[in-house]
Structure 1
Amino acid sequence: MTGNWISIVPFLLVIPIAIFTRQVLAALIIGLLVGSYLESPTVLGGIQTMLTYIVEALIDENNIKILVFLYAFSGLVGMIKYSGGIKGFVETAAEKITTKKQALLLTYVSTIGTFSAPTFRFVTIAPIMKALLKKVKMSTKELGFVIETTATPVIVLIPIATAFVGYMVSVIQISVENEGGTFAPYSLFIQSIPFNFFAIVIILLGIYLSFFHHSHTDAATKIDENDVEEEEDDWHNCHPAVSRDLPTKPWNLLIPIILVISLTLFLTWWDGKEIGVGFFQAFIQADVLQAMVVALIITVFALIASLLFQKFKLSDLINSFITGGNELMSVIVLLSVVWGLSSVTDDLGFSSFITAHTGWIPHAFITPLLFLFGSTISYFIGSAWGTWGILMPLGVSLSFAADVSLPLVIGAVFASGSFGAFASPLSDDTVTISKILGLSVIEYAQFKFKPALIAAMITTVLYAIVPFVLDWFLS
């Protein structure tokens, strides 16, 4: 079907529905269903076509690897929680940290071992900081802000061993394939990392607040007024992963994290080496997704063996793995629908429509406008992943149509989702850190909105300037 206005109908439905209902998955399903009926306008044709798109997406080899990675990764984290790895790390660190500087340094340094997912970061760092809140001369809101700047903004910049990387590469892959592009999606992801300006700017703001900003907030706001005498014990109840009922075994966190990172790097190099290229080129040419999945599976088996040796019951380990994996089932369903929606809009002629109707937009405006548009969506839906799934096909189509740098556009899409994950009162990050630190979600979101907005303004200016810099550099 040639490109016409019908091809954008699914997106015209998905975006407002997601914003007003705040249910990203429901909006995507409606978009996929409508697109399927536009493709096959009969009573049962639309339903059958929708099923076909989802099944075709799920039987794709790379897509299956991504789903296995997401589920197994979340299952690994589930076993680490159950075996007391997180609680052990928190208790050990809390005993050794005695000053504000040490606590803040730990917050940043610990990113090396706990960058796997935002919630993983929060449940390892926030309880430590909460236990030391009397010694750390910061308000609880400032503390939450500093911790959050080391979560999603950092994780989206890391190309291996995170819960994000498989999803991010996948949305790039389906969007580029729909345009007929032959670029390696992982390579594009690597190239886009320096262009995720929002993540970089907000990290720098977090560092400034941590080490150079002197708060004038009343000291009484540092801790909750209730249960002041039990403050040092409160952190055990702030999240199930650090519950007093769990054992205290920090190595059950450190060893699997070190192992999965090391194996991923080694297997990536090994796969590239088999192609016969040099050391650094091997990391670019390798099948990184394959390496990450294999490294993760080996780590899961190694952790199970280690925990059995520690006298944990196999049935309990399996249950904790399944419980952890099931926490990402909603994301797996979301990703499946995103794949289907991208395919149906491509068959409706979305790429051709974008090419035919965006020539009037000045090239220098495309990336900043895309970032602002995506940031608005992500703020109101509170989901970085949902924003990426909705916006990436549009961004890649605009890049091809207007001949704008593809890594720059991809970076802008990821930056827009990062803004919503950080700033939105609806995001999982905001809700989780608020619960752990005992903050009002709305008040905390209002507190961090101003610095997030400043970072977004700086980011917009950078996206307006960079195309000229790239043109000058390449000329």
Structure 2
Amino acid sequence: MEASWLSIIPFLLVIPIAMYTRQVLPGLIVGLLVGSYLANPSLLGGIQTMLTYVVEALIDENNIKIIVFLYAFSGLVGIIKTSGGIKGFVEAASEKVVNKKQALILTYISTIGTFSAPTFRFVTIAPIMKALLKKVKMSTKELGFVIETTATPVIVLIPVATAFVGYMVSVIQISVENEGSSLDPYDLFIRSIPFNFFAFVIILLGIYLSFFHHSQTDAPTEIKDEEPEEDWHNCHPSVSLDLPNKPWNLIIPIILVISLTLFLTWWDGRGEGVNFFQAFIKADVLQAMVVALVITVLLSMIFFLFQRFELSNLIDSFILGGNELMSVIVLLSVVWGLSSVTDDLGLSSFVTENIGWIPHMFLTPLLFLFGAAISYFIGSAWGAWGILMPLGVSLSFAADVNLPLVIGAVFASGSFGAFSSPLSDDTNTIAKILGLTVIDYAHFKLKPALIAAAITAVLYTVIPFLL
């Protein structure tokens, strides 16, 4: 479509409204509504057009698969919780861990089995570390920081079997489609992973703090020796004393979903003249992930039924778990609609014609810093990705900047906010489990997060000269 400055208006509304309300969804809805009225300026035309954009997004085959994946994944976590899988894992691990080194090693090694979602990581690792806090000889804030560096920063780098991957591929897909490109979104996601510099830097900072940094305190700063020790079973419903103690109910489903995803991905991409690694590139990965997840849910249900869990309780747990991601599914639907309407208004052409004055070497670091500010003030990585990815991809095509680099920068900017913002789910969840004040804990994390962000910005400035 012909370039029009009107195409930028929805984004000019989305960002300040999201930052002011500290909620992503209101800004996105306003942006979509205004964009729809710009596309169809009549009394009811804007509302009708907005509905059309959302419905068209929801009936897209790949988008439906993403919604099924997100809901089913969250539902699987729900039945794992109810069956005592998380509690059992925590109980088993806490009995074997007796000192700081063992606890920290467990924190990193356990990522292999609990990388599916940040909250999943927190409720499996934080209670163990909390129970050992007096032995670990770290401040509670330092402990929270180390645990968080093994959550979102790690998960955004994993290309299969996470709650993030479907959403991340989706925002890439809608963005490249808006540019009229047929590039494979999953392939772009894989190629962008090495360029998520913030994730790598903050993980390294976490490792440094874990094994090489000596705290000024020899005991926890937030828990005094004379205070009665709180039972860690009270820190989160997933490890409640009321739940059964069955660690294999966590381990087996996780092994299943990872193994099936890898196998079905290879199976889908295999063919004559295609080697093992090429099969993963050629495969319909989203299809493989959804099928693997559905099979895992069904087999897990059967496995739990043999343990005499009631079917009605398992179904209720699955639905309750899935419903926890309904807000994300709504968010994603609006993001799809907003991307479509701005594309129809000529966003790509507008960006192409109006970025010539910015030196290309600064586009990627500026995009990262801008996105980091947005994600910090709205407290949502997913919201920042949904807002910025269409703009970032348009900038990449317009300025001929390496596309995986730009995509990596957008994902890095959201990772910054999820890690450092006092409004993020990560910050609030870990603070609640460890008994910290949210604002104090977020303030403690901000300095290392800003150091990591500064290093990241420098890398985005330097790396393009090496590509």
TM-score band, normalised by shorter chain: over 0.9
Q: Is 1:241 aligned to residue 216 of structure 2?
A: no
- 1:409 and 2:414 equivalent? no
3-state SS of 2:135 partner:
coil
Asked if the contact 2:137/2:220 (under 8 Å) is kept, the reply is no
1:259 equivalent in structure 2: 256
Query: Number of matched residues?
Result: 467
Report the secondary structure of 1:464's partner residue.
helix
Cα distance between partner residues in 1 of 2:23 and 2:453:
24
Runs of 4+ in 1 over 4 A off after TM superposition: none
Instruction: Check the 8 A contact 2:134/2:219 in 1, yes or no.
Output: no
Q: 1:97 is matched with which residue?
A: 97
2:106 aligned with 1:109, yes or no? no
Question: Aligned AA for 1:359?
Answer: G
Which position in structure 1 is the counterpart of 2:229?
Answer: 230
* 1:396 and 2:403 correspond: no
Aligned partners of 2:367 and 2:409 also within 8 Å = yes
Q: Deviations over 1:21-52 (max 9, x none)?
A: 11101110110000000000000100000000
1:187 aligns with 2:187: yes
Give yes or no for the alignment of 1:268 onto 2:278.
Answer: no
Structure 2: how far apart are the matches of 1:345 and 1:69?
A: 27
Structure 2 partner of 1:200: 200
Classify 1:357/1:187 alpha carbon distance in 2 versus 1 (closer, same or farther; 3 Å): same
SS at match of 1:134: helix
- Counterpart of 1:441? 438
8 Å Cα contact 2:137-2:218 kept in structure 1: no
What is aligned with 2:41?
41
Q: Amino acid of the residue matched to residue 441 of structure 2?
A: Y
Q: How does 1:382-393 map to 2 (within 5 A)?
A: 382-393=379-390
Q: Which amino acid aligns with 1:396?
A: V
- Choose which of 444, 453, 457 in structure 1 pairs with 2:454: 457
How far apart are the structure 2 equivalents of 1:280 and 1:222?
49
Given the alignment of the two structures, is residue 31 of structure 1 paired with residue 31 of structure 2, yes or no? yes
Secondary structure (helix, strand or coil) at the match of 1:361 reads coil
| Partner of residue 321, structure 2 | 324
Q: CA offset at residue 274 of structure 1?
A: 3.8
- CA offsets 1:91-135 (integer angstroms, 9 cap, x no match): 000000011000000000000000000000000000000001111
Aligned to 1:212: 212
**For each residue in 1:363-411, what CA deviation from the matched residue of structure 2 results, as whole angstroms up to 9, or x when unmatched?**
1000000000000000000000000000000000000000000000000
Secondary structure, counterpart of 2:458 in structure 1: helix
Q: Does 1:286 align with 2:283?
A: yes
Q: Distance in 2 between matches of 1:355 and 1:60?
A: 28
RMSD of equivalent CA atoms:
1.0
User: Are the counterparts in 2 of residues 224 and 438 from structure 1 also a CA contact under 8 Å?
Assistant: no
Shift of 1:278: 1.1
Moved more, 118-127 or 272-281: 272-281
| Paired-residue identity, % | 81
Q: Secondary structure at the match of 2:221?
A: helix
Cα distance in 2 for residues equivalent to 1:181 and 1:404: 15
- Is residue 431 from structure 1 mapped to residue 434 from structure 2 by the alignment? no
Instruction: Name the TM-score, length of structure 1 as normaliser.
Output: 0.97
**What is the one-letter code of the residue matched to 1:86?**
I
8 Å contact kept, 1:117–1:163: yes
Q: What is the letter of the counterpart of residue 415 of structure 2?
A: S
User: Does the alignment pair 1:467 with 2:464?
Assistant: yes
Q: Distance in 1 between matches of 2:300 and 2:269?
A: 27
Q: Distance in 2 between matches of 1:288 and 1:137?
A: 44
Q: Distance in 2 between matches of 1:324 and 1:18?
A: 26
Are the counterparts in 1 of residues 375 and 418 from structure 2 also a CA contact under 8 Å?
Answer: yes
Q: 1:441 to 1:222 in 2, by over 3 A?
A: closer
Which consecutive unaligned segments of at least 5 residues does structure 1 have?
Answer: 471-475
Q: Indicate the SS of the match to 1:215.
A: coil
Alpha-carbon shift at residue 277 of structure 1 (Å): 1.3
CA distance in 2, matches of 1:271, 1:220: 51
Change in CA separation of 1:469 and 1:244 when aligned onto 2, cut-off 3 Å:
same
* 1:100–1:135 Cα contact (<8 Å) kept: yes
Residues 384, 414 of structure 2: 8 Å contact kept: yes
Post-superposition CA distance 1:272-330 (Å, at most 9, x none): 10475111010011000000000000000000000100000000000000000000000
Deviation at 1:229, TM superposition (A): 2.9
Match of 2:149 in 1: 149
Is the contact between residue 369 and residue 413 of structure 2 (CA under 8 Å) also seen in structure 1? yes
